[in-house]
Chains A and B, each alone.
Chain A
Amino acid sequence: MYYREIKIQTQCHGKTPKDAASVRATHPIPAACGIYYFEVKIVSKGRDGYMGIGLSAQGVNMNRLPGWDKHSYGYHGDDGHSFCSSGTGQPYGPTFTTGDVIGCCVNLINNTCFYTKNGHSLGMEKLGLQTPGEVVDANFGQHPFVFDIEDYMREWRTKIQAQIDRFPIGDREGEWQTMIQKMVSSYLVHHGYCATAEAFARSTDQTVLEELASIKNRQRIQKLVLAGRMGEAIETTQQLYPSLLERNPNLLFALKVRQFIEMVNGTDSEVRCLGGHSPKSQDSYPVSPRSFSSPSMSPSHGMNIHNLATGKGSSTHFSGFESSCSNGVISNKAHQSYCHSKHTTTSLNVPELNNINVSRSQQVNSYTSNDVDMETDHYSNGVAETSSNGFLNGSSKHDHEMEECDTEMEVDSSQLRRQLCGGSQAAIERMIHFGRELQAMSEQLRRECGKNTANKKMLKDAFSLLAYSDPWSSPVGNQLDPIQREPVCSVLNSAILETHNLPKQPPLALAMGQASQCLGLMARSGIGSCAFATVEDYLH
């Protein structure tokens, strides 16, 4: 949570009694922040005490108090009235003056706002915003708020979550349960956890759509890919699914590029034979000690979305900020309102409403510096800019688990000595030869299917490995990371499933992706409740 503070001093050389000095933030309230709050401390009310705090759209006259003009709302200190785009106010709360801390809370979930005085909520007002408002303050600081806004947010978070939990699912005769079971089952099948899938299907009285043999085949291929034994993987695929790779030359190309990388790595079967190792006895997939407890475990697939989640927060670094202002707009380029949700807000098409958080009108005939000091604090439960492209299609990650098929593991071999192609000269030659074939294949592909920048880059990156004496610690070395086998593995798995007329990604993943996308859409449409819901909350 961030608190901001700044002192605003107006130096007014007012010419007419109607002159008002407004300060408005340059950055609008992000529509999807859900609940937005800021506080202002009135250090001195100035000569006449005409002060207002509130919200206004960009472009509203800055020489007038908020609330008087269209698209603005304000609470005025001299009479305690609230103004809603009108010159005549409604009795709202007490008056305020020097020493008071006034706050303004915008709730974009139910489109209400309320003001606070010295930490006491003064009562809800309906906001007539037709379009989601966008308001921001200009001020940064470290002071905790006088009003307990966190408690208010807790209430709304609970409300939204209760709403989600109690969403009617229209359960007819266990339909819902059956659907959930199908989703789980299809997920297990998709990733090839055949034993679990079988057991699950048995206990829930379902049929597995795919034949067990087929699942086992896919699992075999996946294991080979994930073990870096690409040559065998390609061969097995061609045996089991004869026309698959012929129909997908790009996929075949990608697999072969990966094979090339594994050759450099020294893990591909072709180079391993040459290196004098038994092709089956070595495996370079990283091993985590904890995984050994369940020998029959299939590869475990973490959701891609977890990776995104771990990256959150990195974009909300906050740097100190100074701004000076006199009678006008505070420029605030470094603005980052306090954020906690993960929805992109970069492309907002909604009309913007800015906030005037402090403004005062004053009758001044002489120079008065230090006339008004205001401290404002700011807080928003807002939106961060993390790229959340949702879900990579069917991609999956191994949680460092290691399958124990028929292999014995030599944990140390690849980790102790890292030599090109496992250190064998013959293997290096084989690798070079394979590289040439790959180059030829790439050219042929281009002739047949046209230019493909992705393929081109893939090949280039792979070949770049040879430019370094120690490819593993080179700038392109991450390709050698076993984790890079996963996207390839996933694409291949999806392709195989498609040939069986099965979905190329499991419905469970699809549903999660959709939920994430929905939240993003809500954020862009300014539906505030999205601030209090994330897909991660429901993944335990």
Chain B
Amino acid sequence: MACVLEAPLRMSVLSEVTASSRHYVDRLFDLDPQKVLQGVIDMKNAVIGNNKQKANLIVLGAVPRLLYLLQQETSSTELRTECAVVLGSLAMGTENNVKSLLDCHIIPALLQGLLSPDLKFIEACLRCLRTIFISPVTPEDLLYTGPDHQTILFNHGAVQNIAHLLVSTSYKVRMQALKCFSVLAFENPQVSMTLVNVSVDGELLPQIFVKMLQRDKPIEMQLTSAKCLTSMCRAGAIRTDDSCIVLKTLPCLVRMCSKERLLEERVEGAETLAYLIETDVELQRIASITDHLIVMLADYFKYPSSVSAITDIKRLDHDLKHAHELRQAAFKLYASLGANDEDIRKKIIETENMMDRIVNGLSESSIKVRLAAVRCLHSLSRSVQQLRTSFQDHAVWKPLMKVLQNAPNEILVVASSTLCNLLLEFSPSKEPILESGAIELLCSLTQSENLALRVNGIWALMNMAFQAEQKIKSDILRGLSTEQLFQLLSDSDVNVLMKTLGLLRNLLSTRPHIDHIMSTHGKQIMQAVTLILEGEHNIEVKEQTLCILANIADGTTAKELIMTNDDILQKIKYYMSHSNAKLQLAAMFCISNLIWNEEEGSQERQDKLRDMGIVDILHKLSQSSDPNLCDKAKTALQQYLA
């Protein structure tokens, strides 16, 4: 009953509002332009701060009419300006308002307005555009036509036009200009290189940026100018040993990581610093001793200091987001710090609970954190000492293998690269990793579309095969399958090819292994070798291939596969006279192994090779000016004399 009573009442209120709203809209259609103008002005005053009125006007179709008036060449500039103002006011309302405006294609109309000669009209259009683009419901690509926004802006003279705003008397303007530069220059060498030579009032931009990161400037300004200088440094526009980097930018970024800073500042500071020092060991060393940075970063893991009540979902969510951001930033910075210097890695690992934190990070729900944790682990895994000690103590391989099971490619790349290091022969993790089914995993990586994953997969297998026992070698061959091996040997990427050849070389070491593998896969391997020696490959690839042949020649039964293959023998002969000494040497290794005296059947092999004219070549080479070739040739000839 109550509902029935209430409904008409609501209706009447609504119709009342609508009636007045309709009046406003009607006036937009007046024939007298002066009355239309007054109508728009009245509408402007009516909608300010009145969300209900805004919604009503939109429903009643005011937007298309306003846009029509705004675009009409015959409209006076005053009218067009007032229309833009009203539209801007409508955009200030709810997200639905913005959506309605977008649906009416307001953006092109406003952009067109920017071409007007009237500054007031342009300003009104800009204000409206700004309001619309600030809203989360507006897709960014409405404004940009291509992905490379930096270049578009750069090509339109953004640098020159914004530069002078850096010395504006208004702080807000200076700050916005600085922000523009930090975004324009970010990972953009072209922009960064240009910035170094731009000057404003006789002062170069780097000098202006340095002034802006003085310690009495607002934090926001210090941080943003440090970002600009960082981009310029990474682009090679400023040297890494320049005092403005070493004594200004770096210390400023370290200060941003301090507990006193806001969470966002700490995150941004650490990320920027990680980027700045990523490839320069000297900067890594300086950062590592500055203000106890390594210890300071440990605080990033202590947020939030108190656990909020489960009921406070909003705060819980906020805390969680910030905790993730802080952790991934810290991991990134640790990764950069420990990229090259053994002492720094040691200091990082000795930081309280560091290995536990990394291990926990590997299984975080947030991909960002997981990726950063893997990067950190990767950086630290370059230390031989740490591989033997803390990596083993914390059984790091376990979570790492887990990460590898099911992760997006960007994580897989770093994780598999880390696995490569953990599979080095001196690493105690090698055994347990093998037992946990790594071969299968790595073999599957070699089939990936992603080049980096293929390289890492085959690389890890190569490391795994180094001085391994026969069972492992057989497992690798079986897991990989001959087809896949051939696939890899014909990979378009030379890195993949080299690592595959390296794997073959590692597989074919020690005589029993050589004979065993050649007895099972001899035919295919000989085919592959022939193929590569005939193909268009660089010297390193051919050298590696000849080394494989030399290994095969070292076998007892495997030798015969070469001796019975005249094609291969002719190729070896050819490379003995090649213009490249490396290839000559590698070919000679094959010959040496084939004619070695003490072995069974050596006489027959020597005879056959002499008939092929090998001895003549050896005599010639023994006169070579290259001492290595000369020695090797002489040693070989001695086998004939004995």
Structural contact, B216 and A155, CB atoms closer than 8 A: yes
* Interface residue from A120, A152, A154 paired with B290 (Cβ < 8 Å): A120
Q: A119-B247, A120-B251, A121-B251 are in contact. Are A152 and B291 (CB under 8 A)?
A: no
Cβ-defined partner of A94 (8 Å) among B248, B251, B289, B291? B289
A-facing mask of B233-270, CB < 8 A → 1, else 0?
A: 00000000000001110010000000000000000000
Q: Which residues of A contact B216 (CB under 8 A)?
A: 154-155, 157-158
Among B215, B248, B251, B289, the residue within 8 A (CB) of A93 is: B289
Q: Is B167 an interface residue (CB 8 A)?
A: no
Which residues of B are found within 8 Å of A152, using beta-carbon distances? 215
> CB distance A120 to B286 under 8 Å?
yes
Cα–Cα, bound, A117→B289 (Å)? 9
Residue on B nearest A158 in the bound complex, by CB: B216
Q: Looking at the assembled complex, report how far the CB atom of B250 sits from the nearest CB atom of chain A, in whole angstroms.
A: 8
20 contacts between A and B (CB under 8 A): A94-B289, A114-B291, A117-B289, A119-B246, A119-B247, A120-B247, A121-B251, A122-B290, A122-B291, A122-B292, A148-B247, A148-B248, A148-B251, A151-B215, A154-B214, A154-B215, A154-B216, A155-B216, A157-B216, A158-B216
Beyond A122-B291, A154-B216, 15 extra complex contacts between A and B, CB < 8 Å? A94-B289, A117-B289, A120-B247, A120-B251, A120-B286, A120-B289, A122-B290, A123-B290, A124-B291, A148-B251, A152-B215, A154-B215, A155-B215, A157-B216, A158-B216
A123-141 CB contacts (< 8 Å) to partner B:
123-124
A interface, by DSSP: helix, strand, loop or mixed? Answer: mixed
Q: How far is the CA of A390 from the CA of B289 in the complex (A)?
A: 46
Residues of A within 8 A of B247 (CB): 119-120, 148
Q: Chain A residue with minimal CB distance to B343?
A: A94
B210-244: which residues lie under 8 A (CB-CB) from chain A? 214-216
In the complex, residue of chain B having the shortest beta-carbon distance to the beta carbon of A162: B216
Number of A interface residues at 8 Å Cβ cutoff, please give it.
Answer: 17
Which of B215, B246, B247, B290 has the most chain A CB within a 10 Å cutoff?
Answer: B215
Residue of A nearest to B258 (CB): A124
Q: For residue A93, which residues in chain B have a CB less than 8 angstroms away from its CB?
A: 289
Docked complex Cα distance between A124 and B289 (Å) = 12
- Residues in A whose Cβ lies below 8 Å from that of B290: 120-123
**Chain A, residue nearest B347 (CB):** A91
Q: Chain B CB within 10 Å — which of A114, A119, A123 has the most?
A: A123
Are A123's CB and B215's CB within 8 A?
A: no
- B-side contacts of A123, CB under 8 Å: 290-292
Taking the closest CB of chain A, its distance from the CB of B298, in whole angstroms, is 13
With a CB–CB cut-off of 8 A, which chain A residues contact B286? 120
- Chain B residues whose C-beta falls within 8 Å of the C-beta of A117 in the assembled complex: 289
In the complex, A56→B545 CA distance in Å? Answer: 70
**Chain A residues within an 8 Å CB radius of B214:** 151, 154
**Distance in Å: Cβ of B410 to nearest Cβ of chain A:** 34
Q: Mark A284-301, 1 if CB is under 8 A from B, else 0.
A: 000000000000000000
Q: What is the bound-complex CA distance between A120 and B290, given in angstroms?
A: 6
Which B-chain residue is minimally distant from A151 (CB atoms)? B215
Q: Mark A58-94, 1 if CB is under 8 A from B, else 0.
A: 0000000000000000000000000000000000011
Q: Which residues of B contact A151 (CB under 8 A)?
A: 214-215
| 8 Å CB interface, B138-183 against A | none
Once the chains are docked, how many angstroms separate the CA of A93 from the CA of B285? 12
| Distance, CA A155 to CA B258, complexed state (A) | 15
Contacts of A148 in B (CB 8 A): 247-248, 251
CA distance A114 to B254 in the complex (A): 15
CA of A93 to CA of B286, assembled, Å? 11
Q: How near does chain B come to A37, taking the closest CB pair, in angstroms?
A: 14
- Once the chains are docked, how many angstroms separate the CA of A120 from the CA of B248? 10
Looking at the assembled complex, report how far the CB atom of B226 sits from the nearest CB atom of chain A, in whole angstroms: 13
Contact B215 A122 (CB under 8 A): no
Contacts of B215 in A (CB 8 A): 151-152, 154-155, 158
Cα of A119 to Cα of B248 in the assembled complex, Å: 10
**Bound complex: CA of A151 vs CA of B214, how far in Å?**
6
Min C-beta distance of B149 to chain A, whole Å: 35
By Cβ-Cβ distance, the 9 closest A-B pairs, closest first, are A155-B215, A123-B292, A158-B216, A154-B216, A123-B291, A151-B215, A94-B289, A120-B290, A154-B215
A96 CA / B290 CA spacing, docked (Å): 14
Q: Chain A contacts of B248 at CB under 8 A?
A: 148
Q: For the complex, what is the distance from the CA of A516 to the CA of B216, rounded to whole Å? A: 25
> What is the CA–CA distance of A114 and B289 in the complex, to the nearest angstrom?
13
CA distance A152 to B215 in the complex (A): 7
CA distance A117 to B290 in the complex (A): 9
Complex CA–CA separation, A491 to B370 (angstroms): 79
Which chain B residue lies CB-closest to A147?
B247
- A151–B292 CA distance with the chains assembled, in angstroms: 19
In Å, the complex CA distance between A120 and B246 comes to 9
A198 to B122: give the CA distance in the assembly, Å. Answer: 49
Inter-chain CA distance A151–B216, complex, in Å, is 8
Residues of B within 8 A of A155 (CB): 215-216
Interface string of A107-120 (1 = CB under 8 A from B): 00000001001011
A336 CB to nearest B CB, Å: 27
List residues of B (276-294) whose CB comes within 8 Å of A's CBs: 286, 289-292
What is the chain B residue whose CB lies nearest that of A93? B289
Give CA–CA (A391, B246) in the complex, Å: 48
CB closest chain-A residue, reference B243 = A119
Residue of A nearest to B215 (CB): A155
Q: How far is the CA of A151 from the CA of B211 in the complex (A)?
A: 10
Which residue of A120, A122, A148, A157 has the most chain B CB atoms within 10 A of its CB atom?
A: A120
Docked CA distance A154–B248 (Å): 14
Cα distance A148–B290 in the bound complex, in angstroms:
14
- A500 CA / B215 CA spacing, docked (Å): 53
What is the bound-complex CA distance between A93 and B290, given in angstroms?
Answer: 9
Within the assembled complex, what's the spacing in Å between the Cα atoms of A103 and B18? 75
State A117–B248 Cα separation when bound (angstroms): 15
In angstroms, Cα B292 to Cα A121, docked, is 9
Beta-carbon contacts of A142-154 to B below 8 Å, as 1s and 0s?
0000001001101
Question: B residues within 8 A CB of A124?
Answer: 291
Closest to A122 in B: B289
Residues of B459-487 contacting chain A, CB below 8 A? none
Q: Which residue of B lies closest to A120 (CB)?
A: B290
A117 vs B246: C-alpha distance when bound (angstroms): 13
State A122–B285 Cα separation when bound (angstroms): 12
The chain A residue with its CB closest to the CB of B289 is A94
| Distance in Å: Cβ of B346 to nearest Cβ of chain A | 13
Nearest chain A CB to B641's CB is how many angstroms away? 61
- The CA-CA distance from A123 to B287 in the complex, in Å, is 11
Who on chain B is nearest to A125 by CB? Answer: B292
Contacts of A154 in B (CB 8 A): 214-216
Minimal beta-carbon separation of B450 from chain A (angstroms): 41
Q: Which residue of B lies closest to A94 (CB)?
A: B289
Q: How far is the CA of A123 from the CA of B296 in the complex (A)?
A: 10
Give Cα A99–Cα B242 distance, bound, in whole angstroms: 20
CA distance A114 to B258 in the complex (A): 15
Assembly CA distance A114 to B358 (angstroms): 31
Interface string of B5-35 (1 = CB under 8 A from A): 0000000000000000000000000000000
- Closest partner residue, chain B, to A161 (CB atom): B216
Residues in B with CB closer than 8 Å to A158 are 215-216
A137 to B325, CA, bound (A): 46
Q: Which residues of A contact B291 (CB under 8 A)?
A: 114, 121-124
**Interface residue ranges of B285-342 to A (CB < 8 Å):** 286, 289-292
A47 CB to closest chain B CB (Å) equals: 25
Assembly CA distance A122 to B247 (angstroms): 13
Q: What A residues does B289 contact at CB under 8 A?
A: 93-94, 117, 120, 122
| Chain B residues with CB under 8 A of A94 | 289
B31 to chain A: closest CB distance in Å?
52
**Which residues of chain B come closer than 8 Å to A119, judged between CB atoms?**
246-247
By a CB distance below 8 angstroms, the chain B residues around A157 are 216
